[in-house]
């Protein structure tokens, strides 16, 4: 990892803390330069006792084919191809910064369209879902609408894998135990995000989520998209629904051009990682 002092602010490396429905992020903006963010840095920053803590860390960089490029890390330092709520948070930040009402953000998932949804809400097109076993991906050819796992879950890809269980009462699920167990199921070679959802109405779900590489989170944008797609494929709901998560409510609409997600975001605070903290990471302490 290159030295983290020469290119940082005199007070240290700047960052922002944001959240979407309690799904919280550390955001580092490298559009004006700065050190490369590694998995080692992500793990240190993600420590909620010795760092800042986050569900995902997002890095903003310049790119020629979109307004900006985003890279996502999970709290365990692993990379994530998609992070819907972080994408919405950063889209809102750039809109506020530039007075744009629409923009595009490049992620490993592809170029995502983002727009102002009025009343302080931000909308992002997370792209078309993957429902074929190879693109989710799964370890073998199975029916993705009825996985051979106890509980009869659905598999969906949103640039990252998802496993959705439909249950009578999402509140009653032992999420910490079952989430950890399913995340590493042999059917998912890249591990998986896990959701438990119950139907409130034909346009309304209650959902709780376990994110791979993180654990229980208050919300997840890509998980919300996956659950909406799974519910529509099962015929449990229509393609335009609202979902109640532990951190609040989000709106999902599966359109012909992709899965659109609309919800609130918040920029909580900005700060700087001190040179002492950065030096400890470099020294492997």
Of 217, 200, 186, which Cα lies nearest the Cα of 20? Answer: 217
For residue 98, count other CB atoms closer than 10 A to its CB. Answer: 10
Residue 113 clears pLDDT 50, i.e. is over it: yes
Sign of the CA dihedral with 14 first, then 20, 22, and 24 last: negative
- Percentage above 90 pLDDT, the chain: 90
User: What is the reported pLDDT for 116?
Assistant: 98
Residue 157 clears pLDDT 90, i.e. is over it: yes
Tens digits of residue pLDDT in 163-196:
999 999 999 999 999 999 999 999 999 999 999 9
More confident residue, 151 or 285: 151
User: What is the reported pLDDT for 130?
Assistant: 98
Band (pLDDT 50/70/90 cuts) for residue 231 is very high
Of 107, 285, 81, which Cα lies nearest the Cα of 191? Answer: 81
Structure tokens at 110: 């592809």
* Single pTM value for the model: 0.92
Mean pLDDT of 67-87: 95
Band (pLDDT 50/70/90 cuts) for residue 205 is very high
SS3 45: helix
Contacts of 113 (CB under 8 A, 6+ apart): 102, 104, 124, 125
Mean pLDDT of 116-121: 96
- Percentage above 70 pLDDT, the chain: 95
CB 156, CB 138: distance < 8 Å: no
Length of the chain: 285
CA distance 147 to 190: 16
CA distance 235 to 125: 22
User: What is the reported pLDDT for 1?
Assistant: 34
Provide the pairing of β-strand 258-263 with 56-61.
unpaired
CA 44 to chain centre: 19
Cα-based distances in Å from 168 to 26, 172, 197, 198, 206: 35, 9, 8, 6, 10
Residue 14 clears pLDDT 70, i.e. is over it: yes
CB 129, CB 158: distance < 8 Å: yes
Residue 4 clears pLDDT 60, i.e. is over it: no
Tens digits of residue pLDDT in 132-150:
999 999 999 999 999 999 9
Residue 10 clears pLDDT 70, i.e. is over it: no
Band (pLDDT 50/70/90 cuts) for residue 283 is confident
* Average predicted confidence (pLDDT) for the chain: 94
Hey, what's the torsion of the CAs at 208, 45, 124, 126, to 10 degrees? -70
Please, what are the domains in the chain? 13-126+265-282 (3.10.310.10), 154-256 (3.10.310.10)
User: What is the reported pLDDT for 279?
Assistant: 87
Residue 9 clears pLDDT 60, i.e. is over it: no
Q: Buried b / exposed e across 246-285, counting CB within 10 Å, b at 16+? A: bbbebbbbbeeebbbbbbbbeeeeeeebeeebbeebeeee
């Amino acid at each position: 990892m290159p030295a983290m002092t020469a290119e940082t602010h005199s007070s240290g490396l700047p960052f922002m803390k944001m959240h979407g429905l309690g799904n919280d992020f550390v955001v580092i903006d490298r559009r004006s330069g700065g050190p490369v963010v590694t998995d080692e840095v992500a793990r240190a920053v993600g420590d909620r006792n010795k760092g800042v803590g986050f569900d995902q860390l997002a890095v903003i960089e310049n790119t020629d084919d979109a307004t900006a490029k985003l890279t996502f890390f999970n709290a365990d330092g692993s990379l994530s191809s998609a992070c819907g709520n972080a994408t919405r948070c950063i889209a809102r930040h750039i809109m506020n910064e530039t007075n744009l009402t629409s923009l595009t953000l490049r992620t490993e998932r592809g170029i995502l369209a983002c727009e102002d949804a009025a009343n302080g809400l931000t909308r992002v097109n997370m792209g078309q879902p993957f429902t074929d076993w190879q693109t989710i991906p799964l370890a073998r050819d199975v029916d993705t609408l009825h996985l051979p796992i106890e509980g009869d879950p659905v598999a969906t890809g949103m640039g990252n894998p998802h496993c959705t269980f439909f249950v009578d009462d999402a509140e009653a699920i032992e999420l910490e135990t079952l989430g950890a167990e399913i995340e590493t199921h042999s059917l998912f070679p890249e591990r998986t995000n896990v959701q438990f959802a119950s139907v409130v109405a034909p346009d309304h779900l209650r959902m709780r989520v376990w994110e791979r590489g993180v654990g229980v989170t208050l919300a997840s944008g890509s998980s919300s998209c996956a659950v909406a797609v799974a519910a529509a494929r099962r015929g449990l709901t229509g393609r335009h629904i609202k979902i109640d998560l532990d951190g609040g409510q989000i709106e999902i609409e599966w359109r012909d051009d992709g899965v659109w997600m609309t919800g609130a975001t918040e920029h909580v605070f900005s700060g700087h990682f001190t040179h002492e903290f950065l030096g400890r990471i470099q020294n492997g302490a």
